[in-house]
Structure 1
Amino acid sequence: MMKNIGLLFFGIIILMSCRQNTSQEKKGDAVETDIPSEQTVGIPEAWINKRVTSAERRLKSTDAGRVVWNAMEAHGGLKKWYSNGALSFRFNYQPLDGKTQRDSYQTIDTWRNRARHTSTSDSTARYGWTGETAWVKATDSTAFDYDSRFCALKPFYFLGQPFVLDGDGVNLELLPPTTYKNETQEVVKVTFDPGTGDAPDDYY
């Protein structure tokens, strides 16, 4: 008799557990949940060294590239940039044309170009980039009333210069030097090959 009661009690617990999981799954069906893992896997030093050596060789092959490489070295070096791991910061941007404000806490995987944005007003609202696709997790469809795919890595690209200029599809052109605050500064123009990122027509 006691054995039967024990089995019945165990069965009720299993049933309740299944019902709870089903309820949570149904609740989650309303949003996209293609979210990269919270775990950050360390990058082997050998991989970093190989990537840095390749970038150094490529950049030093042109005058413009040497300027960019020297700028990287002056700010700690490309190896340290990748070795430091993920980069976190807040980006609060109000477009001058009155469009929706972009205000989020961001964590960027600098090695894999993955991004996670968390709304500053609702910690459950997030969006990002997996390295291949964009994703959004928000119960309010208007939480990110702008092109979240485009904005996923845009702030990082501004913040990450000159280190982000070591990739494929980046073209560097040395321009005449200019004077700023009574000092001569080297100038490099940056353009991109067609199909590079979401804004290949941009230039710096």
Structure 2
Amino acid sequence: MFRRDYLMNMIEQMTEAVGQILQLKRELKHQDALLVIDELLDKRFGLSGKLIRSLSDKDLMAVLTTNGVMETDKIQAIAVTLKQESELHAELGNEDASFASGLKALQLFMRLSLVDAEPTLANPSKEAGELLERLKAYELPDHVKQLQAEWLEGEGQFAGAEDVLYELMEDGAVTGEEVEAFYRRLLYCDDEKLEAGGLPREEVQYGLDSLASNK
């Protein structure tokens, strides 16, 4: 009962805040909208906006986990807020700031998707896909690509995960053994799932054989 009331209150407050931000955007009051975001990050989540922005996505999720229970609703709210901040900066031409906020939001949404977080404020999988599309013009850091590969695999987008893993292997960010482990995990999937993921069983086996021949 308490959690439901807390969740409903959070949804109501976030809906109101996002509505205010969108209205300010329509009125071309982008700086005012950014101030609303600063206030939201500073006062709503029990952490300062400065800390939220400085912590890595992994550390932020650790801070918002108590006794093994992750506050996925709060993390979703932070990700939604950072996505709005990224869009505002983009419209203002602040490319670096837009990328930084968008990247943090992307990582949080991918991690939420990987833990099957209930989509209370947003659909983490859908949001992650949209942010990846919006950030595709940028070269993502290796650690984000590693998370992307994990997320794509979790989404059943096996061909996409393979492409990212090979990019990482070429850059020396992952080993051939890690790519081999990816293929071996796929061998446990049924043929229909592999086909849907763009990586039929024969291609999985070909990938394994190619790695073995290059050892």
Structure with more of its chain in strand, by fraction: 1
What is the TM-score normalised by the length of structure 2? 0.25
* Structure of higher CA gyration radius: 1
State the TM-score, normalized to the length of structure 1: 0.25
